[in-house]
Amino acid sequence: MWKQVRERETGVINPKLFANRVKSNRNSSLQLSNYKEIVSAHRGAINSLQVDLTEGRYLLSAGADASVAVYDVQRATEYVASGLVAKHKNILLVDKQHEHGHKYAVSSAIWYPVDTGLFVTGSYDHFINVWDTNTTQVVMNFKMPGKVYKTAMSTLSTSHMLIAAGTEDVQVRLCDIASGAFSHTLSGHRDGVMAVEWSTSSEWVLLTGGCDGAIRFWDIRRAGCFSVLNQSNTQLGRRSPLLQRVITNKASTSKSSSVGTSSKSRTAQGKHVNGNGSKHSSITKKNFSQEKASAGKRLHPGLISSQDRSTAHYGAVIGLKMTSDGLYLLSAGSDSRLKLWDVESCCNTLVNFDIVRLQTSKTMQLAVSPDSDLVFVPCMSTVKAFSMWSGQTMLSFRSHYDNVNSCWYNEQDQELYTGGGDRQILVWSPFRSNFEHEDEWNSKQQGIALDQDNWSD
């Protein structure tokens, strides 16, 4: 480690490369935290977890007992074990006793992307509630036609305030917070929708996964979906390796430059011989453009029933997660398969993930590291970290006593939070020695002493 620090100081290593190395080393040493504990306020299974995107400080959790809780993961409520273990209790709790609380299990809870003053909850009681965090009152609610499985809001949006809702109904509905009404109804799935995910590269693109095994891409500015993923449409043989593509591009450019003069002379001779060479070339270009346009129309998924009925999994799609750069999409199905998709080509990259056993009855929440190198997947009572590009199992986290339903990676603290059917929220953090614990405790005690005044009684 110190060698890399010296290389960074002397300029041998790029600062960004050094930061990525440190982060990857910390991710590889994740373990059950022995200095931080979250005291769960739920009396049922944990269905959803999310840390706010503005401060990276407040953890929002949803439970099967119709309760929603907020925890401060940076400021502890109390310290135990001689100050070595920090306990974090809930600073906000909404349950069935609340006048506007949900009646049944809360399946999804998300923060408003811009501010922690609002959060959104979706429940099996067919309602989506928008809450004011400061007053714990419902600002508005939306009545859905069935159980709410998943809700999502775009983190890039600057033009709309839409909540995408996946329910047991075949239609995906977009709820507008600004107007308090439904703005869109997306039809195309043939069964309930269990997974919704906004694109991380465009605020207008929405991805949905249904119980019919289909993953659809929607542009909310247009009618109908513009792409349906097909598991038989693979990337194998479509793209040449990167080095080979670079060589072929250089060869093609050199060929075009060498043949440029001869082609000019040939076209000139053709004009003199035929007398109407320009007219013939314009006709061929026109025919080519018409053929290209007709081919584009033929490939539209809304016009071909076979492509519109394509499936990405042999079972229900229970989880979707897009990488931070918006280039790849990871999907999980009730067929216990994980698949990585190239968003640009809509092809299956054929990454062979290790054999896993996934839940089939409820939505699953996936998590991805900031560098998109690791993906954290709940596999029954364990959480496995797979390499995104090779599919190998890099880490396994075993401490839950029941099935794990959700996981969230906190980029700021580089910690992983997991929640399961055992009603517990576990914290997985990088390895820290006892000396670091003692130093942190001493610094906190010094800060407390500085805050105290020296007035006498």
72 Cβ neighbours under 8 A, 6+ residues apart: 57, 58, 59, 88, 91
Mean pLDDT for 162-168 is: 95
Q: What are phi and psi of 207, to 5 degrees?
A: -115, 135
Half-sphere exposure of 365 (CA within 13 A, CB side): 27
Six-digit token string for 230: 């097909």
Look up the pTM and report it: 0.79
- Please say whether the beta carbons of 388 and 376 come within 8 A: no
N- to C-terminal Cα separation, the chain: 51
**Higher-pLDDT residue of 440, 110:** 110
Quick one: DSSP state of residue 155? S
pLDDT, tens only, 400-435: 999 999 999 998 889 999 999 999 999 999 987 554
Residue range 213-272, pLDDT digits in tens: 999 999 999 888 999 999 988 876 444 443 344 344 444 444 444 444 444 444 444 444
pLDDT digits (tens, 9 = 90+) for 54-81: 999 999 999 999 999 999 999 999 998 8
**Secondary structure (3-state) at 239:** coil
Q: Could you tell me the sign of the dihedral formed by the alpha carbons of 230, 234, 239, 243, in that order?
A: positive
Residue 97 has pLDDT above 50, yes or no: yes
